[in-house]
Amino acid sequence: MPGYILKRLLQAIPTLWIVITLSFFLMHLAPGGPFDGERQLPPEIEANLLATYHLDEPVWKQYLIYMGNLLQGDLGPSFKYKDFSVTELVAQGFPVSLELGLWAIGLALLIGLPLGVIAALKRNSTVDYLVMGAALAGVAIPNFVIAPLLALVFGVFLAWLPVGGWNDGQWQNLVLPVVALSIQQIAYIARMMRASMIEVLGSHFIRTARAKGLTEAEVIWRHALRPAMLPVVSYLGPAVAGIITGSVVIEQIFGIPGIGRYFVQAALNRDYTLVMGTVVFYGALIVLLNLLVDLTYSALDPQIRHDD
Amino acid sequence: MQQPLLEFDRLRVDFSLPGGTVTAVRDISFTVHEGETLALVGESGSGKSVSSTAAMGLLPDLARPSGAIRWHGGEGDEDLLTVAPGRLRRLRGNEISMIFQEPMTSLNPLHRVGRQIVEVLAKHTSLRGQAARARALELLEQVGIPEPARRIDSYPHELSGGQRQRVMIAMALACEPKLLIADEPTTALDVTVQAQILTLLEDLKQRYGMAILFITHDLGIVRHFADRVCVMRQGELVESGETAALFAAPRHDYTRMLIDAEPRGRKAPVAEDAPLLLEARDLRVRFPLGKRLFRPMEVFEAVRGIDLSIRRGQTVGIVGESGSGKSTLGRALLRLLESQGDIRFDDTALDGLDSTAMRPLRSRMQVVFQDPFGSLSPRMTVGEIIGEGLRVHAPALGRRERDARVQEALRDVALDPAMRRRYPHEFSGGQRQRIAIARALVLKPEFLLLDEPTSALDRSVQATVIALLRDLQARHGLTYLFISHDLAVVRALADSVVVMKDGAVIEQGDTETLFQAPREAYTRELMRAAFLDGEAA
């Protein structure tokens, strides 16, 4: 097992390198730079600034400098938030994004799984059609449409919840962004769980379980649930990635000071180091989460063993 | 006469499907008595499995059973079709238990086998904890699992098919049932394993004094294990009686046809000086087992140095159990797999030829695979499937000539040429296998690799396909390499036989000599398992 983990981590290095390299050059292809403001800087000051951050060098040289610093764990200073390093900004924003993401994925599982199971058990009934219809809508409507609608209804018309802000993670501030972030995942998970549950219920070992004289509840609880959940577990990797990218939009809409918001601001400001810092961080996070998902999978399914 | 135990009284099972009602079982009546083995025999679609699952209350939701299935094992008579669900659950796994055709998938893959046995005990007996585990261990011992103390904590995927079926049997016997329903319990297993499982069932039946309702399509098993037989066809019970009497004097045409469908006859030998068509020397096939970090590549040798020669017009049979390397050998000979060693076809050395160099030879050596359902493209018409080879090997043919050849090939396999406009799903398994043969024949090959061509077919259909293969061989002077695990079929078709095990040849020789006087213990075991020993077939 430790050998397997090591192997996976080693395999992640080329992946991350490609992601970093591509983002770096793509970003520099975009027109403009970090110091193109509305107010034109005096030429000497701008030249000084560019020289300080090596922005006057050719791009390939900047790339080498950046990679050199990165290997030493230095993500560089932010160009826009001049008093902070990128590491500090990520460290500040991540706990907020993490809290949002955990709630969202938790809520998605808590609602999505039972909905899928119920739909599977009552398949081709009104309940099934209602759940699957709602799920289809959930998959189809993007979260940047849902989020403002939620804010409008619950924040403005009903005035039950704040339309935005973080307020140190008060629950009132959490509800709308978490719901907006999880709706799509609830829909995916419910659809997936339904399909997988129907398949498992038709399998031979379920017939065996019934032939043993177990009650229907025992058959479902002991024999059907765990195997039916396996595809959902392997979906959790992509789901977390979806929630992370989703949070970029949601944090912006609700004005939440997470990494996602920094990411958007940084991209608009051409804050090169901050963009790269978040890309590196997201990349590493997704690699780690996928590893975690695979380890969980092998814990649930004895047929999968990760040898060294 | 013993006491009646389970009585089917005018059982009828209808399936309400979107296209209308389909009747799977039509008013069948028969009775299983205490302590007897009753075989329910029939080909696929005869309704035999549906009848037995009805007794367990395990029919799919779409099924509408009527009539009655009376259980005499309890107090008073109960109709299993109308009994309260709770009562039915107390009978299932306890008084009536069932084992299935699919040992590979009938156990929960996520639970250890011990736990799955204990679950039945916990449900129906007062045994709990260590006592239940001890009983599970005892059961595993009784069903002959090697190292039961270790295996009790194994997961199903760590066991072979035969071992999994043993676990299923242990589970079924856990509560000492009065009736065991065995639905084709050995069909998915190798013949030697099949023989072991049947012997085990026989022993356990004596020991527990239970009755067995044995569902099968295999008359060999019926003849050796059943006290009485019921023959089903298209949902109807056509004949029943004592096993010996029924085999000696079948009254119904269908029963007679089933018995006659056992492969018969022998192949006429070819001239001794017939030229060699295919020859292999020290043929080896190796599969990499996957590379691991910092370690040399591990290799599995599936075929270990085999010599083989086939003369023009001959049929060489290759027999062996699953995993013996017989299909791998066949594919390597046709260069469908990479191999080491010399292969000569007619005057050409095949070894070392790449796929481009092989292409002109492909029309001369063709192949028919086992699965008539998977090996024909569902999106192409039968005419397109058969004609495709001609596009590659005879591109000069015009459309009309190609169509003529396709029609000729279809007539060759006794199918109506008009069928070429239809799609594979419209045909039965036997017809599809004929299409697969026509696809090979249209190129006018000299050599045909037949990889288990009849294994997926019912016995009666099998007989017609075998007759067809014989006829084609005689008419076109074909040479066959016939791969099969079915010794009866090989005996009827082959000039000589190669017995394979673990990638090597155990014994080979002239068919009659080999069947009359097998030299090796393994060959004898195979024959005993296939009920071919001491029987004038």
Residue A106 binned pLDDT confidence (cut-offs 50, 70, 90):
very high
Q: Determine the Cα–Cα distance for residues B67 and B83; give it in Å rounded to an integer.
A: 13
Q: Which of A134-138, B14-18, B287-291, B518-522 has the lowest mean pLDDT?
A: B287-291
Candidates A165, A140, A158; CA nearest to A253 is: A165
Contact of A207 with chain B, judged by CB distance below 8 Å, is answered with: yes
Contact A173, A166 (CB under 8 A): yes
Residues of A within 8 A of B110 (CB-CB) are: 226-227, 300-302
Q: Which domain holds residue A166?
A: 91-260
Looking at the predicted structure, is the pLDDT value of residue A69 above 90?
no
**CB burial readout A261-298, b (16+ within 10 A) else e:** bbbbebbebbbbbbbbbbbbbbbebbbebbbebbeebe
Q: Residue A61 pLDDT > 60, yes or no?
A: yes
Whether A242 is covered by a domain: the verdict is yes
The pLDDT, as a whole number, for residue B266 is 81
To the nearest whole Å, the CA of A135 is away from the closest chain B CA by 26
Could you check whether B4-260 and B277-356+447-455+478-537 share the same CATH topology?
yes
Taking contacts as CB-CB distances below 8 angstroms, the residues of chain A near B124 are: 213
| Interchain contact, B108 vs A211, CB within 8 Å | no
- Residue A3 domain-assigned? no
- Nearest beta carbon to residue B90 from set A209, A213, A303: A213
Q: Stretch B440-453: mean pLDDT, rounded?
A: 92
3-state secondary structure of B158: helix
Mean pLDDT across chain A, nearest whole number? 87
> B90 CB near a chain A CB, below 8 Å?
yes
- Tokens for B274, please give them: 């017939």
Q: What is the mean pLDDT of residues B115-138?
A: 93
> Residue B535's pLDDT is what?
45
Looking at the predicted structure, is the pLDDT value of residue B425 above 90? Answer: no
Q: pLDDT class for B366, splitting at 50, 70, 90?
A: very high
Q: For residue B406, is pLDDT > 80?
A: yes
- Residue B72 zone, left/alpha/beta (φ > 0; ψ -120 to 50; rest): alpha
Q: Give mean pLDDT, residues B104-120.
A: 93
Domain ranges of chain B: 4-260, 277-356+447-455+478-537
Is A208–B97 a contact, with Cβ atoms under 8 angstroms apart? no
Q: Does B531 touch chain A (CB under 8 A)?
A: no
pLDDT at residue number B381: 92
Q: Is A226 on the interface with B (CB under 8 A)?
A: yes
Averaged pLDDT, A278-294: 86
Number of domains chain A contains:
1
Q: What is the pLDDT of residue A88?
A: 87
Q: How far apart are CA B391 and CA B424, in angstroms?
A: 20
The fold of the B277-356+447-455+478-537 domain, in CATH, is: Rossmann fold (3.40.50)
pLDDT of residue B241: 92
pLDDT of B295 reads 64
- What pLDDT digit, counting tens, does each position of B267-288 carry? 888 888 889 999 999 999 988 8
Q: Is A305 on the interface with B (CB under 8 A)?
A: no
Give tens-digit pLDDT for B208-265: 889 999 998 888 888 888 999 999 988 899 999 999 999 899 999 888 888 887 777 7
Instruction: Answer yes or no: do B157 and A3 touch at CB < 8 A.
Output: no
Distance CA B142, CA B144 (A): 5
Q: Verify whether the Cβ–Cβ distance A213 to B168 is below 8 Å.
A: no
Please indicate, yes or no, if residue A128 is contained in any of the structural domains.
Answer: yes
Nearest by CB to residue B106, choosing from A204, A302, A308, is: A204
pLDDT, tens digit, 9 for 90 and up, residues B154-196: 999 888 888 898 999 999 999 999 999 999 888 777 888 888 8
Asked whether residue A82 is domain-assigned, the answer is no
pLDDT exceeding 90 applies to what percent of chain A?
30
With H, G, I as helix, E, B as strand and everything else as coil, classify residue A75.
coil
- Per DSSP, the three-state class of B28 is strand
Which tokens is A199 given?
Answer: 């398949």
Q: What is the mean pLDDT of residues A150-170?
A: 85
Q: Which of B28-32, B103-107, B452-456 has the highest mean pLDDT?
A: B28-32
In a domain, A11, yes or no: no
Asked if pLDDT for residue A169 goes beyond 70, the answer is yes
Per-residue pLDDT at A262: 83
Q: What top-level class would CATH report for the domain B4-260?
A: alpha beta
Distance of CA A188 to the CA centre of its chain: 14
Question: Is residue A124 within 8 angstroms of chain B, CB to CB?
Answer: no
Across B4-32, average pLDDT? 90
Instruction: Compute the distance between CA of residue B496 and CA of residue B512 in angstroms, rounded to an integer.
Output: 8
Residue A157 lies in a domain: yes
Q: pLDDT by residue (tens digit) across B39-86?
A: 999 887 788 889 999 999 898 888 899 999 999 988 778 999 999 999
Task: State percent of chain B over pLDDT 70.
Answer: 97
Amino acid A252: pLDDT: 87
H-run or E-run covering B8: strand B4-17
Q: Does A7 touch chain B (CB under 8 A)?
A: yes
Question: Best of A4, A203, A208, A218 to disrupt the B interface by mutation (most B CBs within 10 Å)?
Answer: A208
Whether A300 is covered by a domain: the verdict is: no
pLDDT at B290: 64
**For residue B1, what pLDDT band results from cuts at 50, 70 and 90?**
low
The two tokens of residue B506 are: 């155990």
Mean pLDDT of chain B: 88
Check pLDDT > 80 for residue A131: yes
Tell me whether residue A54 is in a domain: no
| Pick from B140, B141, B121: nearest CA to B132 | B121
C-alpha dihedral, B484 to B488 to B491 to B492, nearest 10°: -100
Tell me phi and psi for residue B231, to 5 degrees. -105, 125
